[in-house]
A and B are shown apart, each in its own frame.
Chain A
Amino acid sequence: MDKNIRIKKYLISALLLIFAGTVFSLFTGKYPLTFALLRGGNPQAVKVFLTLRLPRTCMALLGGFGLGAAGYVYQMVFRNPLASPDIIGVSSGASAGAAFGILFLSAGAFSVALASFLGGLAAVLLTLALTRLAPGRGQGTIVLAGIAVHSLAQTLLMILKLTADPERELASIEYWIMGSLSGISLYRLPFTAVVCFLCLAGIFVLHRQILLLSVDEEESRMLGVPVGKMRLTVLLLATLLTAAIISLTGLISFIGLIAPHTARLITRDNCFPTLLLGGLSGSFLLITADILARSVSSGELPVSIFTSLLGVPFLLYLMLKRA
């Protein structure tokens, strides 16, 4: 009981922090937006608010939550505290896809997002197909196949970078890999939002099974979980989620890794609240990082700089406090 109250307290404070971050995010940015201006109905201000500021804030909340939740799923399924979307090649596949989009399709934001989404998905399907071909099919096989696909995608990315024109294409690729929410607008949000909501709903519904997957394989089989199928479904959900987010924002590092650990250090177990708290700390981390990314310098800075800069000290603080 005592523990439940403690976790509730943490959940509520996380929500409060996120609320504060959201308000702050809505009124931080290059365009001079004030509450009075919005209430006065200044058309330009309202348009900026609705098509740019609000979608960007929503994307930070949703993206952070999604990456945190996906990270939780990966870590549970692989029973590995270092697991992250990279482990089965999503991020490197998405990077290679984005680079391909920048080089061979138009530089329009939509085609790059589509290419990276497909790239991420292709990498994961390849990983899973390789796993199926191998005898055994244990989670060790997935990790190995993932490493192979990850390296393959990295090589592809390197080749694409080599052929890129350093002035425009290479710069675009590098910026994409560093991640940024600056290109988010109302017109680009819907697809990602729908995919995210569906995947998150799926993960929420299956949270019990995910928990069972994290214990011994034999045990979960005895408890009636079709281990192979369930693992595949859950991984696909987490992957779709990640691919949908990073196809829009570019790579955002560390959230998938750090957010679930942060939650685990607070709850000290792997139950449902950990998933929630992992998502929420992801949201908070990303929204804070994005506020900094757009306000620290006169231009836009890559958001990944701040996610790790903010996330690492916090994680270390929790770690040391526990010790």
Chain B
Amino acid sequence: MKKFISTFMILALAFSITACSAGNTAENLPSSGQTAGESAPAPEQDAAQTTDSNEQDVASTEQGSQQNSAEPAQAGTDADSPDAASAQVTYPVTLTDQLGRQVVIEKEPETLVSGYYISTSLLLALNCQDRLTGIEAKAKTRALYRLSAPSIIDLPSVGSAKEFDLEGCAALNPDLVILPARLQDVIPTLEELGITVLAVNPENQELLEEAARLIGTATNTLPAADALFQSAGDCLAKLDDTLADTKKPSVYLAGNSSFLSTAGTNMYQSALIAQAGGINAASELTDNYWSEISYEQLLAWNPEYIIAASDASYTVDSILNDPNLSECEAVKNGRVYQLPNAIEAWDSPVPGSFVGSLWLASILHPDQYPDSQWKEAATAFYETFYRFTPDLENLYESD
């Protein structure tokens, strides 16, 4: 009898442990095995790193490295100029997408459907907005779309990652559908309907850059895809030099759902803090998704700054006024801020996310990195790639 009981308890424990770890990894989509959120993005991506095996790709990567020395703004204009002809893609082209699938694209796609906001914002940066015929749900809520390409907001919706609209997507009969990896279950059905699907999994900076190159190759806009991260990399490298000898304050990044949820070392948001010259207060956490913590934990870390996520469902005031946190360094000194959200959420892996790091740097190190610098970089970036001049005086959505 005792044997039975102990076996049962072991089983129960084993079950609970697997259940816990399954809960953590469920958020971690099957990726190419790269560790999530490696601190700094690699502006110089060498050819061997890319998984794509086609020739155009390698050629353009070389070109990308040459452009490295050029000024960021110039790199942007280069992308549109005809002398980038060496990066022209010749069709049909075979790509390995971020689910490891071989995708053959027969001709340059004229109509595109994007089922994910990150791929949609990549397509906008690659100047492909006119080719879009369908986008993901809730496009109205994306300020970036309104600012950069208002026409796409009214395009038919193909649903969200929760509920993908297979029929609606098929009805649009697009030349190419770009989907997030988490929608992999719908891919076979779409392919059966004769629709070409490219899956992307931009969970961190490297994967985002890879996704940009994949989409760039597929849509024949590789030079723009390369230039896109060139200027970001340059800005961050310059910031890194500026802050080389500065003391790094500890920063607690408060998550979207509650300020008692935060991002550990393995998360994208941790890289954002590191690039801005801060130390993630929650670096001891290694979960791949937002972790819940307690007031005590936050007080024990006692961060110098608290930064609320872009889409936080609470206000900065609610942190400042929480009596449980009155002894926290950041609250005592009023150093609680929210990441701007009027343009896009810079704490998600989008092309413009480096602006979030620059903004944070100006908060953490106002003497070394004044406000004007990040604003200049942000303006240049959005003017070049998204064709609008951002209003950097009103950083928060007013609703």
Contacts and interface: CB of A to CB of B under 8 A. Distances in A.
Interface of A: 29-32, 43-44, 47-48, 51-53, 102, 106-108, 162, 165-169, 171-172, 175, 180, 182-183, 185, 187, 294, 297-301, 305, 309, 312-313, 316-317, 320
Contacts of B290: 171
A180 B311 CA distance: 23
B294 A30 contact: yes
Given A52-B324, A182-B294, A309-B13, A167 B311 contact: yes
28 contacts: A30-B296, A31-B299, A43-B327, A44-B327, A47-B327, A48-B296, A48-B327, A51-B323, A52-B299, A52-B324, A102-B313, A108-B314, A167-B257, A168-B256, A168-B312, A169-B313, A171-B256, A172-B258, A180-B292, A294-B296, A298-B264, A298-B285, A298-B286, A299-B293, A300-B260, A312-B12, A313-B8, A316-B5
B296 A107 contact: no
Given A32-B300, A182-B293, A298-B291, 11 more contacts: A30-B293, A107-B258, A162-B162, A171-B261, A172-B313, A182-B294, A187-B324, A294-B296, A297-B20, A299-B287, A309-B12
B1 interface: yes
A298 B298 CA distance: 12
A52 B257 contact: no
B292 A182 contact: yes
B284 A298 contact: yes
B295 interface: yes
- The residue in B255, B257, B312 that gathers the most chain A C-beta atoms within 10 A of its C-beta is B257
B29 interface: no
Contacts of B313: 102, 107, 168-169, 172
B8 to A, nearest CB: 6
A305 B293 contact: no
Given A31-B300, A171-B257, A172-B257, A299 B314 contact: no
- The residue in A29, A299, A301, A305 that gathers the most chain B C-beta atoms within 10 A of its C-beta is A299
A166 B312 CA distance: 13
Contacts of B285: 298-299
B297 interface: yes
Contacts of A31: 296-297, 299-300
Contacts of A312: 12
A300 B256 contact: no
Contacts of A171: 256-257, 261, 290
Interface string B312-324: 1110001000011
Given A107-B314, A320-B5, A168 B294 contact: no
B300 A300 contact: no
Contact of A175 (B19, B257, B318, B324): B257
B166 interface: no
Contacts of B264: 298-299
A288 B161 CA distance: 39
Nearest to A312: B12
A301 B16 CA distance: 12
Given A301-B20, A316-B8, A107 B257 contact: yes
A107 B311 CA distance: 12
Contacts of B255: 168
A44 B83 CA distance: 65
- The residue in B261, B264, B292, B314 that gathers the most chain A C-beta atoms within 10 A of its C-beta is B292
Nearest to A181: B294
Given A108-B314, A309-B16, A317 B5 contact: yes
Contact of A167 (B4, B256, B260, B291): B256
A53 B324 CA distance: 11
B186 interface: no
Nearest to A108: B318
Contact of A300 (B162, B292, B299, B314): B292
Contacts of A47: 327
Contacts of B286: 298
A168 B314 CA distance: 10
A288 to B, nearest CB: 14
Contacts of A32: 300
A301 B297 CA distance: 13
Contacts of B4: 320
B9 interface: yes
B311 A168 contact: yes
B300 A30 contact: yes
Contacts of A172: 257-258, 313
B324 A305 contact: no
Nearest to A173: B257
A198 to B, nearest CB: 26
Interface in B209-262: 255-258, 260-261
Contacts of B284: 298
A309 B286 CA distance: 24
Contacts of B261: 171
Given A305-B16, A313-B8, A185 B295 contact: yes
Contacts of A300: 260, 291-294, 297
Contacts of A169: 257, 313
Nearest to A187: B323
B297 A30 contact: yes
A226 to B, nearest CB: 45
Contacts of B257: 107, 167-169, 171-172, 175
Contact of B324 (A51, A180, A301): A51
B346 to A, nearest CB: 14
Contacts of A53: 296
Contacts of A317: 5
B291 A29 contact: no
Contacts of A183: 260, 294-295
A111 to B, nearest CB: 11
Instruction: Give 6 nearest A-B pairs by CB, closest first.
Output: A299-B291, A30-B297, A168-B256, A182-B294, A31-B296, A107-B313
A185 B16 contact: no
B102 to A, nearest CB: 30
A171 B287 CA distance: 15
Interface in B250-308: 255-258, 260-261, 264, 284-287, 290-297, 299-300
Nearest to B5: A317
- The residue in A47, A48, A167 that gathers the most chain B C-beta atoms within 10 A of its C-beta is A167
Nearest to B261: A171
A51 B296 CA distance: 10
Contacts of B323: 51, 185, 187
A313 B9 contact: yes
